[in-house]
Structure 1
Amino acid sequence: MGKKKWLKTVAVGLLIAILSTYFYTVTVSGLFYFVEGPLQDTLRKAKSEDERQPDDRIKIVKIDEKSLAAIGKFPWDRKVYAQLIEKLEQSGAAAIGIDVVLAEPSKDPADDKALADVVAKYSNVILPIQINYPSKQQQAGELIPERIDYPASTLTTNKGQMAHINVFVDKDGKARKLPVGLPDEKGQYIPAFSVALANMVLGKDEKVRRDEATGKWLRGSETIPTNDRNQATTEFFTTPRQEADASTGYELLSVIDVLNSSKPLPLEGSIVLVGPFVTAMQDEYPTPISSVKMFGIEIHANMIQTLLESKFYKDMSKPAGVAAILVMALLAIYLFERYKGKAALFIFIGLFVVYGIIWLLLYTVGSTFAPLVYPQFALVAIYVWSIVSHYLDERKERNRVTGIFGRFVSKSVVDELLQSGEDVKLGGSRKDITLIFVDIRGFTPMSERLEPEQVIQVLNEYLDVCTKAIFKFNGTLDKFIGDGVMAMFGAPIEFDNHPEMAVRAAIEMKSQANILEQKLIDTYGIGVKFGLGINSGPAVVGNIGSEGLRLDYTAIGDTVNLSARLESNAKPGQILISEQTYARVKDLFNIVSIGEIKVKGKEKPVAVYEVLGHLS
């Protein structure tokens, strides 16, 4: 393979790799997130029920239609939450999270005081912070809040008992990741609702925290894989409550049932989340595991279990993802340039499947989502380029061969031969053809009188006349023999009227030679003429020579020899044809018999005819 072609291939391949890398890194989720995300979702939905077993320590106390009907329209008096917390604490709850924004003071200060006293009494109660962001940040990855809704100042909540309840969705609107912490107005990080509640049951050495020196989020000594928005992938252990039965989801209690309970509930050591469980309260999100939306309180519950189990499905780091793209691209460049056709197709399918298997293994064994679309985009693009490149190279080679072959046969013969799809093979086959041998009479005396450069110029003009006449009538130029020419008609493409075409070509040569002769006489004072011999019959036609070094497409046999003998016996300006040719064209041209002549290689004299021209 030529160095120039290699450089071109490598350049195009690297350009595709760079383009694929750009698509992969242009945003947090990549340009093809709408393909990559659903593929990851498919894997996550394929988990078994055993793998999805919900943690029975997590309970949800729902603000449902039943509670709204009994307690009244929302928002409720703060005393309701105070009473609810007391009931839950009496039942032994380890942590209680209220997923209801309480940013505005109550109309009745006594309500706020009742809730404030309860929250101050129990340090395991978490109240929500809602962080509001502008529709667009100034720079990608920025998290600068527009407004933060803290619990009302009248609730006098301790900072350690507040956590954010924000749920971010991906570009396709689905909630796949939850921010474990978000910065406030001063850049201080507010832990997620799920983080604050999980920390209340995790051991001292297992708690979730942020390393201020590195900016990483840790669970004990283990790094939590987060993106540049501090989001960790949420593992979903339950489907939305509308789809699940009592045995597959977190235990649900209605607020009104808790309030009306006369004795402690079985909540010892539980993490209890209180939040909306009705669509009208507009706290639900699409998730990757179901077409039905999931309530925000359910998403927080799933994130708590993710933190408790330290079960994080992480995205491969960007440098590693870029490396995967480059390795795939370089491998594709090498293999597709080396192999073509079916081999390249099998390699393409193989690489596609093998990378898919590696992607699955990284997910199942390493809990890692590697980029899938982007390396395979590079693979497909390079494969398509290789097909186009090889096609263009073949077209170029075809045009080159056509150009070379076109110097030996007419364009119409070249086109027909290429369209036939027949291979040119070593060896020959027996064909019925017509041969012409042409020789310049008087060339030797002329070459003695002219300068070498002039001789070459005159010879080229005569050979040009011969070549054009041969091609005009679909002949094949076999070879130049000194100041002579050998041509055949009827091969490689067969024509039924090849004797007629050969004779017409001979007449054309004679006519043009007369014009050229007058030009030479005027220029140099000397002229030359053609002597032509034509014979028709069977001959072996094909590629003869050394297969590894040089081949000649030519004809051999007695038919060829007789044609050459007729040419040697032709006088200047004379066209001699054999009896075999005469029998096929006698009614088409003005032909006269000149009797029999003795030719070398023949025991008996042969009948010879002279073509005078076209019939008048």
Structure 2
Amino acid sequence: MSRLKHFLIPLILLIIIKIVFLFPAVSSLEHKAQDGLFRLRGAIDPGEDIVIIAIDDDSFSAMNRPWPFPREYHAKLIQNLNIAGAKTIIFDVEFTETSNPETDEMLAAIAEYYGNVIFAGKAILSRKAGEASQLVTPIMPIVEKGLSWGLVNMSSDWDNVIRRYPLYEYHDGEPYYTLGVHGLMNRDLDEIGEIYEPVIEAGSVEIGGLQIPVSQNRSLINYYGQAESFLHISYADVIDDENETMPGYYGVELDAFYDLLESGILQDKIVLIGATADELHDKFPTPFGGEWTSGVEIHANFLLNALNGDHLVNANMWLYFLIELILVLLLWQVCCKTKPQYSAMVIFGLVIAQFALAFLLFKYANILSPIVQTALLLISLYVVSLISHYLETMKEKRFIRGAFQQYMAPALVDELLKNPDNISYGGTLQEVSVLFSDVRGFTTYTETHAPEETVSILKEYLTEMVVTIIDNKGILDKFIGDAVMALFGTPIKLPNHAYTACKTALDMRDSLAVLQDKWRAEGREIFEIGIGINTGNAVIGNLGSEQIFDYTAIGDTINLGARLESITKEYDTTKGIIISEFTLEYIKDYAEVRYLDEVKVKGKNQAVKIYDLISLKPMDE
């Protein structure tokens, strides 16, 4: 083996691993492994600088009221918290809808009087625009008085776990900060008389001397423990003073607020108010696992991270890449020059060592480093080193070209040759769109026309249809007499395969219209076609025999597509194209359709809605 191969094989393997982990479904494995570091480290005492006023089950029992509570209760809460010496009061409760105008004004007025209250709003995010398409602000009395409010948006990963905290979202080019950031901005308001203005920098946000590392406007959260790690005080206890009677106490006056006042537990504290009762649905999974953590406690974790400098950061990507490259280059030499059992022992030892290193970096330096990536890289390198010969690449490429070039576009065949793993030689479940088309009344046509005429017009028609399918990156699965079956989204993945299938159907109709004009001019009889399109999972692969390769698809998705084509003649459609509700779900933002009916099909417990496809709007690539 040449020196170049000794360098290229480890390098390529490393790059492949990095690319694979760019996909959310795969990177979630890394996240899960890193979550284990939290549980291995254990909980850390967050102290009592931040206190959570919990809208909990005890509050509902004591107050004997449904949610939402009257605004005057929240006003009293603000008053009592200030009496108890709270430094900053942060509501993780949205007051975005008008209630009683008097109580709305009362809430805003008392917040303005004390000047240490932060309210909650929300950003409606737009994936395409990359910023908030709309802001949901607090009620007008709060906004008009210029009171502070922050966004309560959470940012979950692919597996719905909250690992990162968003610091801001852009709307109309301006940053709007989240609740935790506003808490940091207002932290010294009582001392300096003004709030700190955040400064957004490359890779960080600076707030009054606090430097918060960010990536794509989000900061990793270094959780202190599982749910309820922070001090929680029941909402009802804070408002239960001599002027308030708790119906749930059945006449017993506990006046719990005075116990809190006497204890001084709220003095100079940052206080967050939020829901912890399950029925309010404001809980999220976190790396610690177990019981889900309330949204208000997630805000608290971020705040304390910032105040204590406990931020988590990812290991430097390029530095780690360089270290891993040096490691795999050396390890490749070891694997090539030693017996497999010795190489296995080295690999096993390195996997254990890199996990121990990852834990130490996490616990003592607050650095998150790759765990699964590195382990998979080491194991993959070992597996590759055991392969003594590569597959006969040219033979496989000749086989692929011979199998696909007749019913795929040359460009797709070329792309498939670059990534032959896209082909399933057995059968895998894949999401695809299937198109069936059929000539209406073609049996009658063949009976009334000479065989030569039938073959001539059918050949001309099928040629145009196949060209249209291939031009749209579909593959011709098979001819069934005068019928055509085409697949979209396999073996080369197409992110918009449903849209492409529908566009192909409309293009086929346009191509047929051109042919019909030609046939009329020639004095030949014309015919119409029906097209059915469905989208869903199907078993795809080489479903032929050992002697004959037949790359095709089977399953309920395919059967429904065929059924839709067969019933086009039963409905008055615009262009003879019927699509299923499953296809419509993918193209609803671009398609003009007309609801036709619900049909019962074999393999489906419920009837399927079908639609007449009229037209498509262009899709931005």
Q: d(CA) in 2 for partners of 1:213 and 1:220? A: 13
Whether 2:246 is the aligned partner of 1:254: answer no
**Distance (Å, rounded) in 2 between the aligned partners of 1:78 and 1:55:** 31
- The reply to whether residue 117 of structure 1 matches residue 109 of structure 2 is yes
* Residue 316 of structure 2 is aligned to residue 317 of structure 1: yes
Superposed CA RMSD in Å reads 2.7
1:81 aligns with 2:67: no
Q: Is this contact kept in 1: 2:97–2:139, CA < 8 A?
A: yes
Contact in 2 for aligned 1:71/1:256 (Cα 8 Å): no
1:14-37 residue CA offsets vs partner (Å, 9 max, x unmatched)? 22111112123x25xx65323211
**3-state DSSP class of the match of 1:258?**
helix
Of 5, 11, 19, the residue aligned with 1:14 is 11
Equivalent residue number for residue 414 of structure 2: none
1:89 to partner: Cα distance:
0.9
**Do the aligned residues in 1 keep the contact of 2:312 with 2:366 (CA within 8 Å)?**
yes
**Maintained 8 Å contact 1:98/1:274:** yes
The one-letter code sitting in structure 2 at the alignment partner of 1:346 is M
The Cα of 1:125 is off from its aligned counterpart by: 0.3
| 8 Å contact from structure 2 (residues 185, 207) kept in 1 | no
- CA offset at residue 370 of structure 1? 1.2
1:159–1:390 distance in 2 versus 1, CA, 3 Å:
farther
1:196 is aligned, of 165, 170, 182, to: 182
Tell me, yes or no, if structure 1 residue 225 matches structure 2 residue 225. Answer: no
- Which deviations, in whole Å up to 9, do the C-alpha atoms of 1:31-86 show, x marking residues without a partner? 5323211221111122345xx11221211112223333425222222222111111
The answer as to whether partners of 2:185 and 2:208 remain within 8 angstroms in 1 is: no
Structure-2 separation of matches of 1:31 and 1:20:
14
**SS across alignment from 2:271:** strand
SS of aligned partner of 1:44:
helix
- 2:492 maps to which residue? none
Amino acid at match of 1:253: I
Select between 37-46 and 332-341 the one with higher mean Cα deviation.
332-341
Query: Contact (CA 8 Å) 1:17, 1:326: kept in 2 or not?
Result: yes
Corresponding letter in the other structure for 1:239:
Q
Look up the match of 1:344: 343
Partner SS state of residue 285, structure 2: strand
Counterpart Cα distance in 2 of 1:79 and 1:220 = 34
Which residue matches 2:40? 46
Instruction: Provide the residue aligned with 1:451 in structure 2.
Output: none
SS of the residue corresponding to residue 320 of structure 1 reads helix
CA contact (8 A) 1:314 1:368 kept: yes
1:23 and 2:17 matched = no
Match of 2:47 in 1: 55
Contact between 2:226 and 2:290, CA under 8 Å: does it hold in 1? no
Q: CA deviation at 1:285?
A: 0.5
Q: CA deviation at 1:290?
A: 2.5
Contact 2:328 2:381 in 1 (8 A): yes
Greater CA radius of gyration, 1 or 2? 1
CA distance in 1, matches of 2:81, 2:210: 32
Supply the AA of the counterpart residue of 2:290: S
- Counterpart Cα distance in 2 of 1:62 and 1:116: 21
Q: Which runs of 5+ in 2 are unaligned?
A: 243-257, 392-621
* Aligned positions of 1:480-519 closer than 5 A: none
Shift of residue 369 of structure 1? 0.9
**Residues 377/250 of structure 1: CA separation in 2 closer, same or farther (3 Å cut):** closer
> For 2:149 and 2:166, how far apart are their aligned partners in 1?
15
Deviation of the 1:9 alpha carbon: 4.0
1:186 aligned residue: 172
Q: In the alignment, is the contact (CA less than 8 A) between 1:356 and 1:372 conserved in 2?
A: yes
TM (norm. structure 2) is 0.55
Report the CA distance between 1:144 and its aligned residue.
1.6
Contact 1:21 1:322 in 2 (8 A): no
Match of 1:128 in 2: 120
Structure 1 alignment gaps of length 5 or more: 242-248, 393-616
Q: Give 2:12's aligned amino acid.
A: L
Report the 3-state secondary structure (helix = DSSP H, G, I; strand = E; otherwise coil) of the residue aligned with 2:94.
coil
**TM-superposed deviation, 1:343:** 3.0
- CA–CA distance in 1 between the matches of 2:121 and 2:34? 31
CA contact (8 A) 1:116 1:157 kept: no
Going from structure 1 to structure 2, the CA distance change for 1:213 and 1:224 (only over 3 Å counts) comes to closer
Q: Sequence identity, in percent?
A: 23
Q: How far apart, in 2, do the equivalents of 1:302 and 1:75 lie?
A: 25
Contact 1:143 1:182 in 2 (8 A): no
- Residue type matched to 2:168 in 1? G
Tell me if 1:173 matches 2:167. Answer: no
Residue 221 of structure 1 and its aligned partner are, at CA, apart by 4.8
**What letter is aligned with 1:20?**
I
Residue in 2 aligned with 1:104?
Answer: 97
CA–CA distance in structure 1, aligned partners of residues 382 and 221 of structure 2: 37
Superposition map of 1:156-305 within 5 A? 156=143, 161-183=148-170, 185-201=171-187, 210-212=198-200, 214=202, 216-218=204-206, 221=209, 223-228=211-216, 230-241=217-228, 249-262=229-242, 263=258, 265=261, 266=264, 267-305=266-304
Change (3 A) 1:216 1:341: closer
Counterpart-to-counterpart distance in 1, 2:236 and 2:14 = 60
TM-score w.r.t. the length of structure 1 is 0.55
